[in-house]
Structure 1
Amino acid sequence: MSLPGPFSDPRVLTLLGLLAVSTVVWLSLGLRARARDRRDRARSPLERIWHPQESVELTPAEEHAFGQVVSRLDLGSAGRLR
């Protein structure tokens, strides 16, 4: 039984079949790589971020100024600092 129209050519069917198979392979390899990346990220500890206050002592005046700034911060309606 042959298909009517442009699908009657076996080359078209072969091309569509190859396109379908390559798409499935491409998607499965991409999903597999994403899952592997997630697993690797879950196993590794978070990177330590150095903060200047860890090694530089603040003077009492600097600590007071910092506390004044922080006390004026509040969360806006969208949950962002303003």
Structure 2
Amino acid sequence: MSLPGQFSDPRVITLFGLLAVSTVVWLSLGLRARARDRRDPAHTPLERIWHPQESIPLTPAEEHAFGQVVSRLSPGSAGRLR
């Protein structure tokens, strides 16, 4: 059985074949990763990410500047940023 028109070109058949193979590989690797994550809960993401600056104490001037930035970013009375 031959394919009609432009689908009989070997380059098109090769392209579709590579697309099919890569899709199958991508799906199988994704399913294996999901199954591994279900079995091994140690790879689950942390609830909170530690940032290196947390261990460095801020000066009072830095704390004041940070507080001013946060107060500008907090929602105003209408729920919009100031």
TM-score by length of 1: 0.48
TM-score by length of 2: 0.48
